[in-house]
Structures are given as C-alpha cells and as structure tokens.
Amino acid sequence: MTQANQYNIKPKAGGRMPVVGIRVPSWASFTRPIFRGIVDFIRNNEQWQIQTLVDSTNEMAPVLIDENWRGDGLILFRFSEEEAKIFKQCKIPVVNLSAECLGKGFPTVIPNNFEIGKQAAQHMLTLGLKNFSYWGDPSRNYSIERGSAFEKQINSAGFDCIKVQIEPDHLPWDGRWVKMHERIVKELDRLPKPVGIFAKDDMLGSNIIRICNEVGILVPEEVAVMGTNADEVFCQISTPPLSSVAYPGESVGYEAARLLSKMMNGQYIKNDHLVTMPIRDIVARESTNTFAIDDLVVTQAVQYIRAVAPVYPIHVSEVAARSSLSLSGFNKHFVQLMGHTPKEEIKRVRLAKLQTLLKNSNEKISHIAMDMKFGSPEELSRFFKRETGMVPKEYRSRYQNVNSL
C-alpha cells in the first residue's frame, strides 16, 4: 500500500498550515510536557494550526471526532472504537499515545513500561528491603507491563514480589472509593513489613500513603512507596512526598509530532509501528528515604557512600578499608545483601546528586564539575551521557522546560 491511498493527504495550497487535532489530558501534570514536545517540534520544523480536542468546561470529557472533522492529522491519548472506524474510513493520519489503544491499528508512541518497572525495582533494591509488592490493574496494558518487569527484576535479585491487583473501574460507582479504601487497608495489613510497594501510577501511590497515615503505618520506615509518572500534584500533596519514575512526556510529544509530520507529508508508516521512549529519571522523595539492612558493615558502607559520594569520587577500596573485610570479601558481602555492587551504589549516588543540581539550579556545568570533584567538565559530561543517554545541557533544558509548564 502506498501513502497516497493509506491516508487522505490534503494539498496545502497557498501556504495553508496543516490543522492538527491534539487530545491529551492537560489536567494531569505528567502529560503537560507532551504539549511542550509537540510545540518544540513545530518551532523547529514546520508550522501547524493546533486544535485541542477536549471540552473547555470539562477536561475529563473529550470532544468526539466524527466524519465532519476537517483537519489534517491527529495526536490522541485515547479514542473510542467508533472514532477509530471513522479515522480509517476518512483516512486521517493518527498517532496514538496510549498502550490501551495499541490494538486499534495506528502508529503508537508510548513510554517503555517495562523499563519503568525495571527502574522502580532497581531503586527499591537500594533500600535494603527484603519484601516487595506491586500494586496494579490487570485490565490495563501499561500496568501489566510495569508489574511484569518489576517482578522480574525483584526475582532476579533473589526476592519474591507480592502482587496486589486493584480494578477500580470494575467497582460500582456508588461507594467505589469506600470499597477501594477497605481493600487497600486489608492488603496493607496482610503485607510483611518492612516492605517496598511499587504502584502502577502516582494516584494509587498517593492513596496508599494517605491510608497508611490513617491506620498508623509508618512511611517509609514500615512501608516504602513509589509511583509512576512523577505527577507533581499527587507526589507533592502526599505526606511524605511520593517517589516516582518520571514519565518522558516531552520526548513522547516530540516523537509523536515527528511521526505525524512524516505521515501528513506522504511517507508510508505501518499501522503497527511502535516507538517506546526510554525512561531516564527517577524522582526520589521522602516516601522511599529508608534503609532496612540489619548489617553493620553494609549499613556503615552505605551511610558513608551516601554522605561522601555526592561531593567526592570515592573508590570501593576506600569504603572497604573502613570495614574488617578484605576488598573481595567486602564486595561479595555487599552484593549479597544489596543486590548490586558498591561501585554501582557510588555511581548511583553521584548521578542522583548531579541530576538534582541540573534540575534545580542554574549553576554552570564547570562549577558543578568542580564542586563534585570531577576531573573536568568534559569528564562530567561523559559520565552523565554514559548513564542517561543525554548530555547535561539537554537534560537540564528538558527538565526545566517541564517545570515551567
């Protein structure tokens, strides 16, 4: 099939700007960066006339698209089966942004949900916990993928993962949240403590923390909680604030716009074309600020690394020398209890400090390199690029742009 009959490509006579409809729920702070990514693409490549396809009086209610819509292309977070039929009948170029709409036959750009689960597990494993639980929704594809990867990573470290499945959409609307509350209380009571809980999203994670506070469970000492999306609203209103895996909204938006531009300009794209955007950031807050290892050697080592590594590039031999073990014995003992090497812990702590400085300050890279005792700004940049796939300037620009929305 050629692009000419795959889509209804409208001629752009007289310099007419393409009309692009966008349906992304701006009520969720984690999705707002999608708009930023789309705007960045437009600024750097071609001008579009944008239509936001949500009800201005109720952002939860999307504007339905029918056969009378006269735009050139669509970027949609969700759409119905009826709408999908119309898009195909009218040959409208569409880019889908939801894992829940993967089977509807349109090119898709979504975050790598398996990587989200893996990174959440890696973070939880640094806390010294031995009990882990994933709280998800088996009716949602993204939740299944995140939970599967989380469980696999936890199992590979030698631990079990208790799965708690919650399906709020299957509960009757009348009394739904009362039933949800009762279920969460019951499941929290069943879990061994201390435990690390990874929730499918920040809304659920925030509710878990709230209910822990109500029933007298200490967060993070007894229950460490982590969500997904790094939604500022849900994360910051939690007490303590919720740790979360960040949603790569800006890169999702940019890639979706790039893909739609190709389709609108006559390039053939397969209907099952799938792009999964990499996950580059974990926003660690107080809800996972705990350490549960009951071992003096490892506890002292981790305390030393987390105190010194942010400002000095310490070596494992230096940490091992503070214990009664040989270097090889210390390495083996650390891995047995923590699930990763002391070198990886040092690297993780330095990277987290560097990310915090880039996100929350305008300090020059050269000054940060000096403060953290890198050999040079170039050495800092190489380290950061190797660990995140981005240079510091790009990371700072993306994160600070997101915060400005």
* Torsion sign, CA atoms 193, 194, 199, 204: positive
Q: What's the rounded Cα separation, in Å, for the pair 301 and 321?
A: 10
Q: Looking at 45-112, list the stretches that DSSP marks H as alpha helix, in order from N- to C-terminal side.
A: 81-89
**Total number of domains in the chain:** 3
- Taking only the tens place, the pLDDT of each residue in 236-254 is 999 999 999 999 999 999 9
**Res 173: pLDDT:** 59
Q: What are the structure tokens assigned to 139, written together?
A: 């009716």
Burial 337-347 (b: 16+ CB within 10 A, else e): bbbeebebbbb
Give the pLDDT confidence score for residue 56 in this predicted structure.
Answer: 47
Q: Which residues touch 216 (CB under 8 Å, ≥6 apart)?
A: none
CATH of the domain at 67: 3.40.50.2300
Q: How far is CA 284 from CA 108, 123, 124, 268, in A?
A: 29, 9, 10, 42
- Are 238 and 343 in a shared domain? no
Reported as type and span, the H/E element at residue 295 is none
CATH of the domain at 312: 1.10.10.60
Which CA distances in Å does 56 have to 25, 26, 175? 11, 11, 28
Of 227, 261, 288, the one marking the end of a domain is 288
Clarify whether residues 117 and 242 are in a common domain.
yes
Query: Are 240 and 246 contacting, i.e. CB atoms less than 8 angstroms apart?
Result: no
Q: What is the pLDDT of residue 5?
A: 44
101 and 205 both lie in a single domain: no
Cβ(247)–Cβ(28) under 8 Å? no
DSSP 313: -
Q: Give the domain extent around 206.
A: 113-247+282-288
All residues at 6 or more sequence positions from 196 whose CB lies less than 8 Å from its CB, including other chains: 124, 127, 129, 131, 132, 133, 223, 224, 225, 226, 288
Instruction: Give the pLDDT score at 37.
Output: 92
* Side-chain half-sphere CA neighbours of 92 within 13 A: 26
124 and 138 housed in the same domain = yes
Residue 405: the pLDDT is: 42
300 shares its domain with 380: yes
* Domain presence at residue 314: yes
Residue 281 exposed, middle or buried by CB count within 10 Å (0-12, 13-18, 19+): buried
**19-23/73-76 β-pairing:** parallel
Taken in order 383, 389, 394, 396, is the CA torsion positive or negative? negative
31 within 8 A of 22, measured Cβ to Cβ: no
Contact 94, 87 (CB under 8 A): yes
Q: What is the C-alpha to C-alpha distance for residues 357 and 351, in angstroms, rounded to an integer?
A: 10
* Phi, psi torsion values for 402, nearest 5 degrees: -65, -45
CA 221 to chain centre: 24
Q: Are residues 19 and 34 in the same domain?
A: yes
Integer Cα distance of 225 and 241 in angstroms: 10
Residue 337 lies in a domain: yes
119 and 243 part of one domain: yes
Report the C-alpha gap between 361 and 71 in whole angstroms.
Answer: 41
Q: Are residues 211 and 178 in the same domain?
A: yes
The predicted-structure confidence for 11-47, as pLDDT tens digits, reads as follows 555 567 889 999 887 667 778 889 889 999 999 898 8
Check whether residue 124 and residue 224 sit in a common domain: yes
* 171 falls within a domain: yes
* The token pair that represents 288 in the structure block: 């996972």
Q: Which two tokens stand for residue 33?
A: 């960066």
Cα Rg of the chain (Å, integer)? 24
* Alpha carbons 105 and 84: distance in angstroms, whole number: 8
Same domain, 121 and 79: no
Q: Is there a contact between 109 and 277 (Cβ–Cβ < 8 Å)? A: yes
User: Is 405 among the domain residues?
Assistant: no
Across 126-172, the runs of DSSP E, i.e. the strands, are 132-136, 161-165
Confirm whether 177 is domain-assigned.
yes
Q: Which residues, given as ranges, of the chain have pLDDT below 70?
A: 1-15, 26-27, 54-64, 168-175, 398-405
**Nearest CA among 144, 145, 112, 123 for reference residue 389:** 112
**Are 202 and 137 in the same domain?**
yes
Q: What is the pLDDT of residue 402?
A: 44
CA trace torsion 229, 232, 235, 236 (10° rounding):
170
Same domain, 159 and 140: yes
Structure tokens at 356: 């915090």
DSSP state of 10: P
Residue 117 domain-assigned (yes or no):
yes
Rounded Cα distance between 49 and 268, Å, is 23
